[in-house]
Amino acid sequence: MAGRRRTTLTVATANVNGLRAAARKDAAGWAAGSGADVVTLQEVRAPDDLVEDLVAQVFGPGWHLAHAESTTKGRAGVAVVSRLPLVRTDSGDGEPCFAGTGRWQEADVELPGGDTLTVVSAYAHTGDADDPARMAEKLAWFDAATDRIEELRSDGRHVLLTGDLNVAHRDSDLRNWKGNRGRAGCHPDERARFDRWTDELGWVDVARSLATGEHVPYTWWSYRGKAFDTDAGWRIDYQFATPELAAAATAARVDRAATYDQRWSDHAPVVVTYRL
């Protein structure tokens, strides 16, 4: 009997720092050369009635779209865009930490052969270690995210959590780790949530799993100063996969712009190819 035909699927995640601005800055050039089949977007920052046209500008016609708009105008917003059909979408409106925030979008992508892959585009809060209420909100969001991704995987499906999670998990994930230790994005309580995912629950940080050493390329650089030119960045954009899905990953890269003036966002896309 012939074996099941395997499918190559490339998934990218990108904080676009405003989809309208990214479209003006030639994000379409990146999209055309990315080879991505599915792209998750964060900080879309555009209303529903504009997003479909913006996606067509950047990615071309025929892409399927699921978008979670924030009720706060001009803030957040996440989306999943896919060449392949989306058979189920959910913006998490039943969870108070997600409802109306534009920070959580699920989509089941229909793969050739009839299987599906559940993809999540997520945008975690920035947080503030000097503001207990803001940090509590961020940590509660991570706890809700943990409950949800565990629920999604409970039936044995492949699940991929992607996005700007606003945490550098390890010291090697940011240049100035000594100066930022204990601050938002480099706080032990935030890192403990990631430790639970990887060490207790078995989720895999795909880019790290495919790296040849401890350092994995950064994904965000401040627009201020010479952070980009000196590579004084942070790795805060991720693809976390269930173990079986992670085992199917064959390559990962960060699409860092060649020069400062070619950037269309302060983040760079994380692109992973899977052989399913």
Query: Looking at the predicted structure, is the pLDDT value of residue 129 above 80?
Result: yes
In this prediction, residue 249 carries a pLDDT of 98
- Return the percent helix, strand and coil in the chain, to nearest 5: 30, 25, 45
Work out the pLDDT band at 7, boundaries 50, 70, 90: confident
Separation of alpha carbons 108 and 95, rounded Å: 19
In this prediction, residue 137 carries a pLDDT of 96
Convert the pLDDT of each residue in 148-173 to its tens digit.
999 999 999 999 999 999 999 999 99
226 CB-side CA count, 13 A: 2
In this prediction, residue 3 carries a pLDDT of 54
Query: Looking at the predicted structure, is the pLDDT value of residue 274 above 70?
Result: yes
In this prediction, residue 4 carries a pLDDT of 60
3-state class (DSSP) for residue 9: strand
In this prediction, residue 97 carries a pLDDT of 96
Question: Percentage of the chain with pLDDT > 90?
Answer: 95
Convert the pLDDT of each residue in 179-222 to its tens digit.
999 999 999 999 999 999 999 999 999 999 999 988 899 999 99
Query: Looking at the predicted structure, is the pLDDT value of residue 100 above 90?
Result: yes
Q: State how beta strands 204-205 and 237-241 pair.
A: antiparallel
75 CB-side CA count, 13 A: 11
How much is the mean pLDDT over the chain?
A: 96
How far apart, in Å, are the Cα atoms of 106 and each of 90, 119, 121, 139, 219? Answer: 5, 6, 6, 20, 22
Place of tokens 């994930």: 173
Element (H, E) at 92: none
Work out the pLDDT band at 83, boundaries 50, 70, 90: very high
Work out the pLDDT band at 1, boundaries 50, 70, 90: very low
- Domain at 8-275, CATH homologous superfamily: Endonuclease/exonuclease/phosphatase (3.60.10.10)
Separation of alpha carbons 197 and 204, rounded Å: 8
Query: Looking at the predicted structure, is the pLDDT value of residue 256 above 70?
Result: yes
Beta carbons within 8 Å of 221's beta carbon, 6+ residues apart: 227, 228, 231, 232, 233, 234, 266
Convert the pLDDT of each residue in 216-249 to its tens digit.
999 999 999 999 999 999 999 999 999 999 999 9
- Looking at the DSSP bridge assignments, the partners of residue 158 are 117
Q: Nearest CA to 148 among 162, 164, 161, 165?
A: 161
In this prediction, residue 113 carries a pLDDT of 82
Amino acid at 167: V
3-state class (DSSP) for residue 252: strand
In this prediction, residue 95 carries a pLDDT of 96
Phi, psi of 142, deg, nearest 5? -65, -40
Query: Looking at the predicted structure, is the pLDDT value of residue 43 above 80?
Result: yes
Amino acid at 110: E
In this prediction, residue 213 carries a pLDDT of 85
